[in-house]
Amino acid sequence: MKHIFQQGTNPAKPTLLMLHGTEGDENSLLAIASHIDPEASVLSVRGNVSENGMPRFFKRLAEGVFDMEDLKIRTEELYEFIAQAAKEHNFNRENVIAIGYSNGANIAANLLFTHEDSFKGAILHHPMVPNRETALPDLTTIPVFIGAGTNDPICSAEETTELEKLLTNAGAKVEVHWEEFGHQLTMPEVEAAKIWYDKL
Ligand code: MLT
């Protein structure tokens, strides 16, 4: 997959896997990565799907309606890519924290839903419930930060709470941070994610 890898200065730090929203690319979240942890390595990936020229991580049939077959295939593709990238760039596959926004948060959530060893932790900005067909694996002790908006028209507050419950029931340690905004990723939300990350 097309990506940027930036070697961190502290090898003990996790590798931050950056997953952009629809219309973003591998450059979109680099500033957020260096804000969250300036010493960490960064693997920032571009989604392989193009929707009228807009990069995404999986196809959708309409706004908020996912192509479940494609989601499954793309989730496996990304899972395999992370392992390959760990070999190529020589980082510890077991020490990866995903940071995704919107469509990128949705594929990160689906990785959590389908593999118990996807990530050491995850920051999900405005995720939806990625699928309701899977029995979640054991996610005991995996820390997950969810950034949500009380007025998010794409991901309702109810859906955020549903996602929180599904992850918590699988054993994850979930923290939901609410902003009174919509679907946009705001600086206060990034700051809240940083405070959460610094406590890991
Ligand atoms: C999705 O398709 O993943 C969600 O609707 C969010 C987005 O607009 O990308």
Name the pTM for this structure: 0.98
CA of 56 to the centre of ligand 1 (A): 8
CA of 12 to the centre of ligand 1 (A): 33
Mean pLDDT over the full length of the chain: 98
Q: Which sequence positions are flagged as catalytic?
A: 102, 152, 183
pLDDT tens for each residue of 116-126:
999 999 999 99
Q: What is the residue with the minimal CA distance to atom 5 of ligand 1? A: 64
Residue in this structure with the two tokens 């693997």, named with its chain if needed: 43
- What's the token pair of residue 39? 């010493």
Q: What share of the chain is helix, strand, coil (3-state, %, to 5)?
A: 35, 25, 40
Long-range contacts of 112-115 (CB under 8 A, 24+ apart): 112/136, 112/139, 112/142, 112/144, 112/167, 112/172, 113/137, 113/166, 114/75, 114/79, 115/79
What CATH number belongs to 3-198?
3.40.50.1820
CA of 86 to the centre of ligand 1 (A): 27
Chain centroid to Cα 191, Å, comes to 17
CB neighbours of residue 122 within 10 Å: 28
pLDDT band at 114; cut points 50, 70, 90 = very high
Q: Which ligand 1 atom sits nearest the alpha carbon of residue 57?
A: 3
Of 112, 81, 87, the closest CA to residue 98 belongs to: 112
pLDDT tens for each residue of 142-177:
999 999 999 999 999 999 999 999 999 999 999 999
Mean pLDDT across the stretch 73-93? 98
